[in-house]
Amino acid sequence: MIKLNPNQVRTSVATMVLAASTLVGIAVHEGYREDAYIPVPGDVPTIGFGSTAGVRMGDKTTPTRSLVRLLDEIEGVYATGVRRCVTVPLYQYEYEAYVRLAYNVGVGTFCRKAAPGKPPNLIDLINSGRYAEACARIEAFKYGPGRKVLPGLVKRRAEERAICEGRA
Query: Read out DSSP for the chain?
Result: -PPPPGGGS-B-GGG----HHHHHHHHHHH--EEEEE-SSTT---EEETTB-TT--TT-B--HHHHHHHHHHHIIIIIIHHHHHH--S-B-HHHHHHHHHHHHHH-HHHHHPPPPTTSPP-HHHHHHTT-HHHHHHHGGG--B-GGG-B-HHHHHHHHHHHHHHTT--
Say whether pTM exceeds 0.75.
yes
CA atoms within 13 A on the CB side of 95: 30
What pLDDT digit, counting tens, does each position of 78-119 carry? 999 999 999 999 999 999 999 999 999 999 999 999 999 999
In angstroms, the CA 94 to CA 92 distance is 5
CB 101 within 8 A of CB 112: no
Per DSSP, what are the bridge partners of residue 33? 48
Q: What percentage of residues in the chain have a pLDDT greater than 90? A: 77
What pLDDT digit, counting tens, does each position of 15-49 carry? 888 888 899 999 998 899 999 999 877 789 999 99
Distance, C-alpha 154 to centroid of its chain: 14
Q: What percentage of residues in the chain have a pLDDT greater than 70? A: 96
**Section 43-57 average pLDDT:** 93
Enumerate domains of the chain plus CATH numbers: 6-29+62-164 (1.10.530.40)
How would residue 5 be classed by pLDDT, with cut points 50, 70 and 90? Answer: low
Q: What is the pLDDT of residue 75?
A: 94
